[in-house]
Structure 1
Amino acid sequence: MACLSWSGIANVALERRDLLWTLTIIVTMGLVLGQSQTMKTAWIEDTLGLVPPVMFLIAAHMERHAHRSRRFPFGFERVNGLGFFVAAVALTAVGALLLYNALMALGAAEHASVGSIAILGQDIWLGWLMIAAQIYSLIPPLFIGRKELPLAQALNDKLLHTDALMNKANWLTGAAGLAGIIGLGLGWWWADSVAAAIISLDVLNDGIKALRSSTAELVDGAPRALSSTDLSDDAQNLCDRLKAEFPGGTIRLRETGRLIRAEVHDTPPPRNAVIRDITGQRARTERGGWLR
């Protein structure tokens, strides 16, 4: 699996823009919260949505500037995996919080009301401002998330992919929030909470899958696919090639950040042999086996 150079790749700049847009959305949503359950949960979700881009920028900085040392002989190759775990926890927490708040509101049969606000001497229904805020909150996550996905796939960057999922959750929240606010305006007291509950199930599902993959990575599990808990195709292809090169050997694969490391045990390395992985990168030998 290739470790692409950071130079010439726009992911860091993209994450900085994501962070900036998310901050503006948080401020905008906070100004018009009112008593709407959807608005409150959307605001909380947007706030937790800061975690993935912040973790990505921290991991990117450490990967680019950290050097191997006596205390960190491998540098910070796995810092991306740690950031992936933190981001997965945040995504799961968002889904769980959305579902809890929605179910509590439905159970209590809360009849949320949307009042009016005086602007320049005119009374304006607060719902119009909420709708405008929700529409605004839809746009940045929709476009940024679509740009993040191909970058995440090119780099095999699960942290970046989790941020794309968070942006997906954000624009889904905005869409369902619009439906909830319109429902309140029509007198459907349950529309607000039902919309929030529908959002939460999708977000929670993405969060749990990301949490399972990130946990497996931290405990040296076999490399998982980018968007599921299945084993990755790259890992399977590499394993097959190593088995062909070393019949009878024991192949062990694990993931360190955006890289796959392969070890071949129970077989001596042939003299002057060079293995090439599926990307054409050269392998190196270490005591106890072959390590890519």
Structure 2
Amino acid sequence: MGRIKLRYAEQLSDKVLRADADMNKADWLTGLATAVGVLGIGLGFWWADAVAALVVSISISKDGWDNTANAIRDLMDTRPTTFDNSEVDPVIAKVNAAVMDDPRVVGVQTRARDEGHVLHLEVFVQVDRLVVEVAWLEELERRCNEVDWRAGDVVVTVTTEPHPVADARLE
């Protein structure tokens, strides 16, 4: 069951489903380790149950640590990551590429926040003109929303200079 949930967690970019899949995996491994420990005692290895208990406790502690660290990272409003926290969420780069496809855009920086299943995106678009049409801004916003279903809340801000916040804080 955990493997099935893990596959859907990746497709949906669902961190809660990922944690649930990890717990299913931990339950399965705990049952297996316990059975091996009991079998070991039955075969005369008095220490097998203690080793099985140690393996189970280390596994539970590791899962608890990983899931707690991931939850704290998500609550601290850090850079959005993929469902398994292994890399920066690719939606950000896709949005930047979609905006840069417009010939009027000189540069783009995007600040993103993970809001569960969707991302809140602040897209800072650098242009070389002082006047832009509202319809064009609405088109950019629509284009950003169409990049991925997770680009749920998009705010487009136009500037004539790069955004003053350091690039390290923007993606």
Shorter-chain TM-score: which interval? Answer: 0.5 to 0.7
The separation in 1 between residues aligned to 2:83 and 2:120, in whole angstroms, is 16
The separation in 2 between residues aligned to 1:270 and 1:152, in whole angstroms, is 40
Aligned counterpart, 2:26: 169
Aligned counterpart, 1:231: 88
Q: CA separation of 1:172/1:259 partners in 2, compared to 1, >3 Å: closer, same or farther?
A: same
Pair 1:146 & 2:15 matched: no
Question: What's the TM-score, normalizing by structure 2?
Answer: 0.67
Describe how 1:65-144 pairs up with structure 2 within 5 A. Answer: 144=1
The Cα of 1:215 is off from its aligned counterpart by 1.8
Aligned counterpart, 1:80: none
The Cα of 1:252 is off from its aligned counterpart by 0.5
Pair 1:279 & 2:148 matched: yes
**Is the partner of 1:252 in helix, strand or coil?**
strand
Q: Which moved more, 1:162-171 or 1:180-189?
A: 180-189
Question: What is the letter of the counterpart of residue 87 of structure 2?
Answer: D
The separation in 2 between residues aligned to 1:236 and 1:250, in whole angstroms, is 10
The Cα of 1:180 is off from its aligned counterpart by 0.5
Question: What is the letter of the counterpart of residue 173 of structure 1?
Answer: T
- 8 Å CA contact 1:249–1:266 kept in 2: the answer is yes
Structure 1 spans left out of the alignment, 5+ residues = 1-143
| Number of equivalences | 146
Pair 1:214 & 2:71 matched: yes
The Cα of 1:224 is off from its aligned counterpart by 1.4
Question: What is the letter of the counterpart of residue 37 of structure 2?
Answer: G
Pair 1:257 & 2:126 matched: no
Question: What is the letter of the counterpart of residue 226 of structure 1?
Answer: F
**Is the partner of 1:221 in helix, strand or coil?**
coil
The separation in 2 between residues aligned to 1:282 and 1:173, in whole angstroms, is 39
Structure 2 spans left out of the alignment, 5+ residues = 160-171
What CA RMSD, in Å, does the superposition of the two structures yield over aligned residues?
A: 3.1
The separation in 2 between residues aligned to 1:236 and 1:202, in whole angstroms, is 35
Question: What's the TM-score, normalizing by structure 1?
Answer: 0.42
Percent identity at matched positions? 30
Q: CA separation of 1:283/1:154 partners in 2, compared to 1, >3 Å: closer, same or farther?
A: same
